[in-house]
Amino acid sequence: MTAPAAYVGVDPTARRTVVEGLRERIELIVTPVFFLVLVAAVAAVWVYGDFDSTAQRIINWPTMQRRIIEHINVTFWSTVLVVSIAIPLGIFITRPNFRRFAPPILGLANAGQAAPAFGLLILFAGFFGTGTTTAIIALLVVALLPVLRNTMVGLQQVDQSVIEAGRGMGLSKRQALTRIELPLAVPIILAGVRIALVINVGTAALVGLIGAGGIGEAIISALQLRRDTAAFIAAGMVAALALLIDFLAALAERYLRPKGI
């Protein structure tokens, strides 16, 4: 199969850059569109839906505002902890002297994501008690793997000849890491952080089960009381929040990337 005429004679790397740039632009348009459509659908159901007094108590706006803030709070702090732990850990196990620690550390991180989030929340609640702190710790375990693995992949894909050239110019190992390896790994690391954010937003819908609040608390109450319309509104809020955070993370991924990469 021959290449399209527009790409004949074009360097494969440049072609890939053009395609990736086009994909990013489309993504930055499509996600906000889906977000607005979902928000409009939720708002329409909320305004024109027929709710009894029980459903109204579940989704009254002051209560939902509090739950949204709780949801964002749990998501934010769990992701901060993920980044604070996973990136240094990823750097540590990619250093030549410490690569032997990579299999057990990755195994633990894999176990955290492979285990059902519901089970982890209940297990952690049994050990640490219920509440926001336990929810944040559980979400940390669930979302650790993407950032850890992407940090490793990002650092490992840096061309060794570039690092050796930097060392030859007098850079120490630490300087080569901070000036060459990490800047080149930033796009892949940011992609891992974005994945962790979206995972945490979705999983945070379960933290109401252990007394940590969040929008999931409204979903649980609505399902228990068989108020399906109220459950739809609350679930739609979680989905809209996930789309919004994914969009903001995509913007950060695009504009925090070092120029020229």
Number of other CB atoms surrounding residue 132 within 10 Å: 18
Q: What's the pLDDT at 79?
A: 95
- How far is 16 from 261, CA to CA, in rounded Å? 12
Chain segment 73-109, per-residue pLDDT in tens:
999 999 999 999 999 999 999 998 898 999 999 998 8
CB under 8 Å to 14, separation ≥6 — which residues? none
Cα angle vertex 112, ends 110, 114, to 5°? Answer: 65
**pLDDT, tens digit, 9 for 90 and up, residues 121-162:** 999 998 889 999 999 999 999 999 999 999 999 999 988 888
* Per-residue pLDDT band at 1 (split at 50, 70, 90): very low
User: Two tokens at 249?
Assistant: 């993370």
Distance CA 64, CA 72 (A): 12
Dihedral sign of CA atoms 161, 165, 167, 171 in order = negative
Angle 143-146-148 (CA atoms, 0-180°, nearest 5)?
100
| Lowest mean per-residue pLDDT among 96-100, 176-180, 203-207, 257-261 | 257-261
pLDDT at 7 over 70: no
Percentage of the chain lying above the pLDDT 90 cut: 56
pTM: 0.84
Residue corresponding to tokens 């061309």: 159
pLDDT at 167: 83
**In Å, how far are 17, 39, 58, 113, 247 from 236, measured between CA atoms?**
35, 8, 14, 24, 16
Residue 68 pLDDT grade (very low, low, confident, very high; cuts 50, 70, 90): very high
**Residues 200-223, mean pLDDT to the nearest whole number:** 92
pLDDT, residue 15, reads 55
* Structure tokens given for 133: 């702190």
Crossing angle (nearest 10°) for helices 12-48 and 228-255: 150
pLDDT at 190: 92
More confident residue, 63 or 115: 63
Q: Is 146 left (phi over 0), alpha (psi -120 to 50) or beta?
A: alpha
DSSP 97: G
Mean pLDDT within 1-25: 54
- CATH T-level topology, domain 11-255: MetI-like fold (1.10.3720)
pLDDT at 2 over 70: no
